[in-house]
Amino acid sequence: MMLFKELVDVYERLKATPSRLEKTALIAGFISQVPADDLPVIVTFLTGRIFPEWDQRKTGIAGQSMIKIISSITHNSEALVVESYKHTGQLGLTAEEMFAKRKQQTFFEPEDVTVKELYETFAQIARASGAGSATKKQKILIGILNRATTPVEARYIVSLAIENVLSGAKEGVMEEAIARASAVPPELVRRAHMLTSDLGETARIARLQGAEGLAAITIQPMRPVRPMLAQNVASIREALDEMGGTAEFEVKYDGARLQIHKRGDEVRLYSRRLEDLTDALPEIVGYVRQSVTSDTAILDSECIAIDRATGRPIPFQNILTRLRRIYKVEEARAQFPLNLRPFDVLYHNGQSLLELPLRERRRVLETIVTPLNGECKPAEGLITADEAQAQEMFGASIRSGNEGLMGKDLNATYTPGVRGKKMVKIKSVLDTLDLAIVSAEWGHGRKAGWLTSFEVACLDEHSGDYLVLGRVASGFSDEELIAMTERLKPLITGEHGRIADVSPDVIVEVKFEEIQSSPIYNSGYALRFPRLVRVREDLSPEEVNTFARVMNIYNIQQRYVSKPGEQP
Ligand code: AMP
């Protein structure tokens, strides 16, 4: 029976090992000693999770609750615990610090905690629900924390309880370690991981059944898999070239990804991050029951909201409020009713379709999804080799308020969790903004006498204020800098140091990598790597992009950003 403190030792060694190769070797060596029965829990714990990714259980211990727990168990005042937390920034470290300053020692020699016991304790905490559950959860955790033999062990129990183990192994490292520990090909481990959403189970199968066992793993209803992801391409042409001349183009809906699992009347809906959203989206469940004719199926889809008055898609933020909703589902549903656009099928009547080419999966999809007016119908698609025809579809998609097009390789299999060029996205102008120049900086050296770097701002549509998003200094030729200086000089309203404030009459189109929240500018956000695309002489100052538009892009972008610990 493995003791938790042995695992603590591994966490500590991982923390001290910056090299990915050494981490992999360390974990491989360790897990090859672990008995097969303990393997799933230990592998999962090592990645910093308590339960596998497909599993919806959470301990549900809030930060405030953890502060109470640490205080009660170490006999330090809550104020002191909070003080410690302010400087450590991590509840685990605070637990360690408070344990070291424990006011009262226990009278008995505590019995070492085993990994299995800890897992069962967390499962018990996860089960506690309803009235008084917070207190119940606290009691259970206190029971096991009392048996921590060292402050460091207490730190890891606390960090794991809130799934915030910073020295845990990244998934990629763990996949390689599993492959090495069982001498199986890493691609098979990765595939098994993507299909099971369970690294612990993957490790167990690798150990007990080897490569053959891993290869035999397939998807099953009610067990979500990571969705296949798309790469960006710049144009329809590029998409066609990637796909060998012909592609399936589909409308890229601006909604939320939903993976739909159906077994008889039972329907479950999973987010891109495999969270179970079934209870939040009752109408979608209804549509699936009505529309999907197969007995068992796994579908990939986008769910969208349509404004009934205008027939146009409603911005993604409003859909988000639906996905996060646990209470008042019916009210939210009345406000933003959702529609469904299935675009792929992964499993049908007892069989995995992952290995079929898209062309055939799409055919199956059309036969099993019975369109229900606008509420549920397969994503609009067009198979073509004709760039002009696809371009027309792109224009139509944007005009009707969608994000652009997806381009898909008709011969491609469905590869869960892979972001590749078998499925690409062609978006409109998501990554540029039209912004006003509000100040500029005088250059020096060769560029003395020129304005060389420009603060750009969007317009707050409510107050009429300009909100700064960043400083653009690249993308200009010398000629452009000279022309820009001439253009801005008459607009200067004041100067301080090297900075000249200008009235916001010059609009530039700015490209950037990402929008980040940032305390530097008065907008609260900053563009990452902003650069000039062109000066927009054709736009008037009222056409500067609004802060609402910036927020819209920011929110869309949030969906593409990985969680900590997730593969990029
Ligand atoms: P990404 O998430 O960056 O891979 O971008 C692709 C996203 O576009 C998918 O995750 C879906 O949520 C969404 N999407 C909208 N319409 C479609 C479609 N017809 N096919 C595939 N994905 C779509």
Report the separation in Å between the CA atom of 252 and the middle of ligand 1, taken as the mean of its atom positions: 6
Any idea what the Cα angle at residue 38 is, between residues 61 and 135, rounded to 5°? 20
Pairing between β-strand 338-348 and β-strand 404-408 as defined by DSSP bridges: unpaired
Report the separation in Å between the CA atom of 334 and the middle of ligand 1, taken as the mean of its atom positions: 25
Give the mutation target among 228, 233, 249, 252 for probing the ligand 1 site: most ligand atoms within 8 A of CB.
252
Spatial contact of 445 and 531, defined as CB atoms under 8 Å apart: no
Q: Supply 308's token pair.
A: 């009934």
Could you count the other beta carbons within 10 Å of the beta carbon of residue 82?
A: 14
Report the separation in Å between the CA atom of 51 and the middle of ligand 1, taken as the mean of its atom positions: 28
Q: What is the predicted pLDDT for the residue at 105? A: 65
Spatial contact of 334 and 288, defined as CB atoms under 8 Å apart: no
Report the separation in Å between the CA atom of 253 and the middle of ligand 1, taken as the mean of its atom positions: 7
Give the mutation target among 229, 398, 408, 425 for probing the ligand 1 site: most ligand atoms within 8 A of CB.
425
Q: Supply 38's token pair.
A: 């303990």
Q: Supply 252's token pair.
A: 């890229």
550 vs 317: CA distance, rounded Å = 12
Q: Supply 161's token pair.
A: 């309880």
548 vs 447: CA distance, rounded Å = 36
Q: Which residues are catalytic?
A: 252
Q: Which residues contact 535 (CB under 8 A, 6 or more apart)?
A: 480, 484, 487, 506, 507, 508, 509
Spatial contact of 332 and 325, defined as CB atoms under 8 Å apart: yes
92 vs 94: CA distance, rounded Å = 5
User: Domains plus CATH for the chain?
Assistant: 4-161 (1.10.3260.10), 229-427 (3.30.470.30), 432-562 (2.40.50.140)
Pairing between β-strand 296-305 and β-strand 338-348 as defined by DSSP bridges: antiparallel
Helical axes 4-15 vs 20-31, angle rounded to 10°: 160
Spatial contact of 508 and 433, defined as CB atoms under 8 Å apart: no
Residue with CA closest to ligand 1 atom 18? 252
Give just the sign of the alpha carbon dihedral 298, 317, 129, 55.
Answer: positive
- Ligand 1 atom with the smallest distance to the CA of 381 is 19
Give the mutation target among 228, 251, 257 for probing the ligand 1 site: most ligand atoms within 8 A of CB.
257
Report the separation in Å between the CA atom of 277 and the middle of ligand 1, taken as the mean of its atom positions: 18
- Ligand 1 atom with the smallest distance to the CA of 228 is 4
The separation between the first and the last C-alpha atoms of the chain, rounded to the nearest angstrom, is 35
Q: Give residue ranges with CB within 6 A of ligand 1.
A: 229-230, 250-253, 257, 302, 343, 379, 406, 425, 560
Residue with CA closest to ligand 1 atom 10? 257
DSSP 8-state symbol, 3: B
Residue with CA closest to ligand 1 atom 5? 230
Beta bridge partners of residue 453, listed in sequence order: 441
What kind and span of H or E run contains 147?
Answer: none
Q: Which residues contact 9 (CB under 8 A, 6 or more apart)?
A: none
Spatial contact of 9 and 153, defined as CB atoms under 8 Å apart: no
Q: What is the predicted pLDDT for the residue at 568? A: 30
Q: Supply 190's token pair.
A: 């990765």
- Ligand 1 atom with the smallest distance to the CA of 257 is 12
Report the separation in Å between the CA atom of 393 and the middle of ligand 1, taken as the mean of its atom positions: 17
Q: Supply 181's token pair.
A: 């520990």
Report the separation in Å between the CA atom of 231 and the middle of ligand 1, taken as the mean of its atom positions: 10
Q: Decide: helix, strand or coil at residue 77.
A: coil
Report the separation in Å between the CA atom of 433 and the middle of ligand 1, taken as the mean of its atom positions: 22
- Ligand 1 atom with the smallest distance to the CA of 423 is 21
Report the separation in Å between the CA atom of 395 and the middle of ligand 1, taken as the mean of its atom positions: 18
- Ligand 1 atom with the smallest distance to the CA of 256 is 12
Spatial contact of 533 and 475, defined as CB atoms under 8 Å apart: yes
- Ligand 1 atom with the smallest distance to the CA of 380 is 19
Please list the pLDDT of the chain residue by residue as tens digits (568 residues). Answer: 899 999 999 999 999 998 999 999 999 999 999 999 999 999 999 999 999 999 999 999 988 899 999 999 999 999 999 999 888 878 999 999 999 988 766 666 778 999 999 999 999 999 999 899 999 999 999 999 999 999 999 999 999 999 988 888 989 999 999 999 999 999 999 999 999 999 999 999 999 999 999 999 999 999 999 999 888 777 888 899 999 999 999 999 988 899 999 999 999 999 988 999 999 999 999 999 999 999 999 999 999 998 878 888 887 767 877 887 677 888 888 888 899 999 999 999 999 999 999 999 999 999 999 999 889 999 999 999 999 999 999 988 987 888 889 999 999 999 998 888 899 988 764 568 899 999 999 998 888 889 999 999 999 988 889 999 999 998 888 888 999 999 998 889 888 999 999 999 999 999 887 889 998 899 999 998 898 988 887 777 777 999 988 887 787 666 544 333 333 3
Give the mutation target among 248, 403, 406 for probing the ligand 1 site: most ligand atoms within 8 A of CB.
406
- Ligand 1 atom with the smallest distance to the CA of 252 is 16
What are the φ/ψ torsions at residue 80 (nearest 5 degrees)? -65, -40
Residue with CA closest to ligand 1 atom 14? 252
- Ligand 1 atom with the smallest distance to the CA of 227 is 10
Residue with CA closest to ligand 1 atom 12? 257
Give the mutation target among 225, 228, 253 for probing the ligand 1 site: most ligand atoms within 8 A of CB.
253
Report the separation in Å between the CA atom of 203 and the middle of ligand 1, taken as the mean of its atom positions: 31
Spatial contact of 321 and 278, defined as CB atoms under 8 Å apart: no
Q: Supply 520's token pair.
A: 């530097």
What are the φ/ψ torsions at residue 419 (nearest 5 degrees)? -100, 105
Residue with CA closest to ligand 1 atom 16? 252
550 vs 525: CA distance, rounded Å = 9
